[in-house]
Amino acid sequence: MKGVFPVEKFKGVQTPFYFYDTKVLRETLETINREAGLYPNFRVHYAIKSNANAKVLKEICQAGLGVDCVSGGEIKAAVAAGFAPEKIVYAGVGKSDWEINLGLDENIFCFNVESIPELEIINELAAAKGKVAQVCFRINPNVGAHTHANITTGLAENKFGIAMEDMETVINLAATLSNVNFIGLHFHIGSQILEMDDFVALSNRINELQDRLEAQGIKVQHINVGGGLGIDYQDPNGNPIPNFKDYFATYAQHLQLREGQLLHFELGRSVTGQCGSLITKTIYVKQGHHKQFCIVDAGMTDLIRPALYQAFHKVENISSDEPVETYDVVGPICESSDVFVKGFDLNKCHRGDLIALRSAGAYGEIMASSYNCRTLPVGYVTEDFD
């Protein structure tokens, strides 16, 4: 089965471009609100790094989610889109002074702090403004995730977070600094995680750490488990909405929240992934000796995930219903890794056919580059074609 696209209306639009299906996005957001809403202590933030398209942000903001930022630019984008600063959490191993100052000026909810030097600088910059910054510590839980090596973040050798054995040291240090207020713990084990057991492992680890802190009389108001819920790249039509029910239920069942504690989530891919497709045009169909190539006008500059992570994006010829043939679908960039998929069955391709690369709403448009002096792709939503 193919996705539903307004193909006739796409004609004449400069390719490649991103198309965001507003219906899918809204259904996703409704499901999140319904499933997380079963648990009054749950707070969902949107990881804006996955997609900062203004039209997409507008929908997410209207749904009432908070936002997770990792740069000053993202804080600006979130504020411009209308997200309330008191719902912004800000993570990142290397926050520059101007970015910390921006967070302080906007009175964001919390800085997720990843090292002692960062804590000291936040304290210093907050003092200069006569403010007290709320901080969570990002703890590296040393929990692996069953996903691609480039997108696991919770193992001991990753650059992220503070080691578990240093947790009390940083909390005690924060207590001695007058311009930071320690409010919680932050975690994130990786991305594109489909095995709920990985989230169980994180919950178990957090329970252990909480027991340890409780024994020392240390109070924690907020727990933030980051993001990571994966999507079905193989079957975006069969599974357009990720399994939020099991995801939230897993945490509800396994993570022992203490009295009054709030549990925060930072979901990126699972919010935006399935609503987006990269639409590209077939420039040439080239016959090789052992294979044929469908050469399209989108490249790794528009969607880098296949080249960078060997990621699979389902490809569909949305202009043709002719019997399928097997193709390597490749872009025009001067790099041999500029290949979207190899040996893939598509309805017979012709010059000019529109091709959709599915499940590209997360880490697609936002990771585009202008390598080869190419123009950045534009992002459209359903309403742009009404």
Q: Tell me which residues touch ligand LLP (CB under 6 A).
A: 47, 50, 68, 91, 151, 153, 188, 191-192, 226-229, 266-270, 305, 309, 362-363
**Nearer residue to ligand LLP within complex by CB, 229 or 294:** 229
In whole angstroms, the minimum distance from the beta carbon of 342 to ligand LLP comes to: 19
Q: How many CA atoms lie within 13 A of 108 on its CB side?
A: 30
- The identity of residue 74, as a single letter, is E
**Nearer residue to ligand LLP within complex by CB, 294 or 331:** 331
In whole angstroms, the minimum distance from the beta carbon of 213 to ligand LLP comes to: 21
Residue 363 near residue 4 (C-beta atoms within 8 A): no
**Nearer residue to ligand LLP within complex by CB, 71 or 153:** 153
In whole angstroms, the minimum distance from the beta carbon of 244 to ligand LLP comes to: 12
**Nearer residue to ligand LLP within complex by CB, 71 or 280:** 71
Residue 109: how many other CB atoms lie within 10 Å: 22
* CB-based burial label for 159 (10 Å; 0-12, 13-18, 19+): exposed
Q: How many CA atoms lie within 13 A of 359 on its CB side?
A: 24
**Nearer residue to ligand LLP within complex by CB, 125 or 304:** 304
Which has the closest alpha carbon to 300: 269, 327, 337, 329? Answer: 337
* β-pair partners for 190: 152
In whole angstroms, the minimum distance from the beta carbon of 350 to ligand LLP comes to: 31
**Nearer residue to ligand LLP within complex by CB, 138 or 281:** 138
In whole angstroms, the minimum distance from the beta carbon of 192 to ligand LLP comes to: 6
**Nearer residue to ligand LLP within complex by CB, 89 or 122:** 89
**Nearer residue to ligand LLP within complex by CB, 192 or 319:** 192
* β-pair partners for 136: 112, 184
In whole angstroms, the minimum distance from the beta carbon of 191 to ligand LLP comes to: 3
Length of the chain: 386
In whole angstroms, the minimum distance from the beta carbon of 298 to ligand LLP comes to: 16
Helices (H), 112-243: 116-128, 167-176, 196-215
Angle between helices 244-254 and 22-36 (to 10 degrees): 20
* CB-based burial label for 215 (10 Å; 0-12, 13-18, 19+): exposed
Pairing outcome for strands 262-267 and 222-224: parallel
In whole angstroms, the minimum distance from the beta carbon of 227 to ligand LLP comes to: 3
What residues have CB less than 8 Å from 149, skipping those under 6 apart? none
Residue 278 near residue 359 (C-beta atoms within 8 A): no
